Amino acid sequence: MARIREFDIDQAVDRAMDLFWRRGYAETSLQDLLKELSIGSGSFYAAFGSKEQLYIRALERYISLQGGDLSAILEDATGIRPAVRHLLVSMVEADLADPARGCLVVNAATRCEAQSSATDRVASGIRQLESLLAGALERAKARGELAPDKNPAELARFLTTFVQGIRVVGRARLGRTFVEDAVTTAMRALD
């Protein structure tokens, strides 16, 4: 007779995501995960397969949560400029509040966690941001908020690259003035 799982998978993934986010993939051992999740190795392997598979699920969870937050910011704003500024400033504030934590996608990319499945998820997260921005910029151009010569796809790619850079700069702890000046300059791309 099969045993009934005695823990919530989604909560476990969230807890693992937090641990990977704080420590990184390489620095998180299986023992760390078992302790954090309060489960035995048999339950761990039955539920997740491996540390790498759990890490991928944690990255996917993070990307899903971030995508929902970014989508809400871009869709709820009264115009594209306030929406993009809100998005950028919210990232700056998160990094200033906890610079060691940063962005899980950027952390995965910059810590050279070369598992191809993790690299694929990092690329997916970056493409998701690009897609959300491109859609918002296309809608803004249709409403006349962007000049006719502005290319929403190119702007989205620039802003996506800028976001990744600003997240790295946040980890480097260069300070509020540095990142706020960068945001001000990036916003000029929409003029």
pLDDT digits (tens, 9 = 90+) for 56-99: 999 999 999 999 999 999 987 789 999 999 999 998 998 888 88
**pLDDT at position 116:** 67
Burial of 132 (0-12, 13-18, 19+ CB in 10 A): buried
Lowest pLDDT segment from 23-27, 110-114, 145-149:
110-114
Write down the mean pLDDT value for the chain. 90
- Kind and range of the H or E element at 71? helix 51-76
Secondary structure (DSSP) of 74-91: HHHSSSHHHHHHHHHHHH
Distance CA 159, CA 116 (A): 25
**pLDDT at position 3:** 52
The SS3 assignment for 154 reads helix
Q: Which domains does the chain have, with CATH numbers?
A: 59-190 (1.10.357.10)
**pTM score:** 0.86
**pLDDT at position 2:** 46
